[in-house]
Amino acid sequence: MAKYRKLGRNSSQRKALLRSQVTALIENGKIITTEARAKEVRKMAEKLITLAVKEKDNYETVTVSAKVPKKDSEGKRVKEVVDGKKVTVYDTVEKEIKKDLPSRLHARKQMDKVLYKVTEVPTAAAGRKKNTKTVDLTNKLFDEIAPKYADRQGGYTRIVKIGLRKGDAAMEVLLELV
């Protein structure tokens, strides 16, 4: 018996397919796919969520000071003349940030090996690069998903059978986070 399903693809295509489906599942909360794919995606997703649950509180808050350029009412940087040159004026701002401890940092890097980078485009600016944001799915795992499943011992996903697909009669399922 094999340890995994080959899904009719070579190894690089199979890994890319599974990574994209796990990324879509974490981003959206549910996906529709075939039963065989869903069972493989479930394995990867459950491991990522387990990793996030174990390391969700493993950080320390640190206060740092950052230099931020001063801006005018129009949002442009304020400049002043020093020794005949225009120089941007900076303000010092204190911020509190979460600093990962080593085990959480390692978990974050393990998650980044599996999850793809996701860019979110606002509906008003569809087709433009302006105002696009990159979504950090590892932060979503740590901050939103892990606290939800903190008291749960596995079984973070559910597979619901939908029916046969019209083209090839493959069993379609809904894979969702519980």
Instruction: Report the alpha-carbon distance of residue 150 to residue 54 in Å, rounded.
Output: 8
Read off the pLDDT band of 125 (50, 70, 90): low
- Which one has a higher pLDDT value, 25 or 121? 25
Q: Report which of 139, 141, 151 is spatially closest to residue 44, judged by C-alpha positions.
A: 141
- Check whether 127 has a pLDDT greater than 80: no
How far is CA 13 from each of CA 9, 105, 153, rounded to the nearest angstrom?
6, 28, 32
Q: Report pLDDT digits (tens) over 159-178.
A: 999 999 999 999 999 999 99
pLDDT in tens, 57-101: 999 999 999 999 999 888 889 999 888 899 999 999 999 999 999
Average pLDDT along the chain: 93
Contact assessment for residue 117 and residue 134, using Cβ atoms and an 8 Å cutoff: yes
Give the pair of three-digit tokens for residue 84.
């005949």
Whether residue 104 contacts residue 55, with contact meaning beta carbons closer than 8 Å, is answered with yes
**pLDDT tens digits along 4-44:** 999 999 999 999 999 999 999 999 999 999 999 999 999 99
